[in-house]
Amino acid sequence: MIDNYLRSDFKFDAIGITISLPDFTTIFDKGVASGVGWLLSFAFMGLLAIWITFSLIAAYKITRSGMEKELETGVTLIKNVWVSATVGLIFFAVISVIGSFIGVGNITEWNYTLMQCHDASGGFYFMDIAAQELQGLESEGAVIQCCKVEDTSLLSDAHKDAGFLNGTYHYIINPLGGGFSECEPFE
């Protein structure tokens, strides 16, 4: 069976082979969903940059044109840029609204709200924090760490009621007391 398939190592335990792939980037270190969030954020920023750049170029052509043909070319360029960029921005607006409704926020927040604690088997940031906030823990200004839940019987009542299982990794709000190990700061 393939073990740890979202990392840079493919382990085939049944036949004793491990294929180590080069790790060119850290974008996908906290899960594929977080990496997709990063890429969508970069695409959104790129679209905005292209939109602004071509709008300025078209505006320059319009203001510097002395002939009717150059003026018409500039106006056509600005119309095309605004129409195509607006369609792209509508796409990002729609997926941001959908993301907000399901609790992960807009696309600029997906890179951290969709992070997974420890590896691909860990809990998602937005789900872990929401489960603890429902139990009365406040995340604003709190210490948040990625921890392994060792013993649920030692957890505080709020952490117990969040539904964490022994041996799983989750983002924990103020991981004080017992029951947690291998805690790392939220990055």
At residue 52, the pLDDT reads: 87
75 Cβ contact partners less than 8 Å away, ≥ 6 residues apart: 58, 62
Q: In this predicted model, which residue has the larger pLDDT, 148 or 120?
A: 148
CA distance linking residue 103 with residue 187, whole number of Å: 20
Kindly report, residue by residue over 157-170, the tens digit of the pLDDT: 888 888 888 888 88
At 97 the pLDDT is: 92
pLDDT at 70: 73
Radius of gyration of the chain (CA): 24
* Separation of alpha carbons 9 and 114, rounded Å: 22
What pLDDT score was predicted for residue 94?
A: 92
CA angle 38, 54, 72 (to 5 degrees): 155
| Torsion angle, alpha carbons of 154, 185, 42, 127, to 10 | 10
Provide the whole-model pTM: 0.64
DSSP per-residue letters across 113-178: HT-BSSSTTSPBHHHHHHHHHTTT---TT--EEEEEE--GGGS-HHHHTTT--TT-EEEEES--SS
Mean pLDDT across 38-61: 84
Q: Is the pLDDT of residue 11 over 80?
A: no
Q: Note the pLDDT of residue 184.
A: 86
143-156 pLDDT, tens digit per residue, is: 888 888 888 888 88
Quote the pLDDT of residue 131: 87
Is a pLDDT exceeding 60 seen at residue 3? no
The answer to whether residue 6 scores a pLDDT higher than 50 is no
Rounded CA separation 126/131 (Å): 9
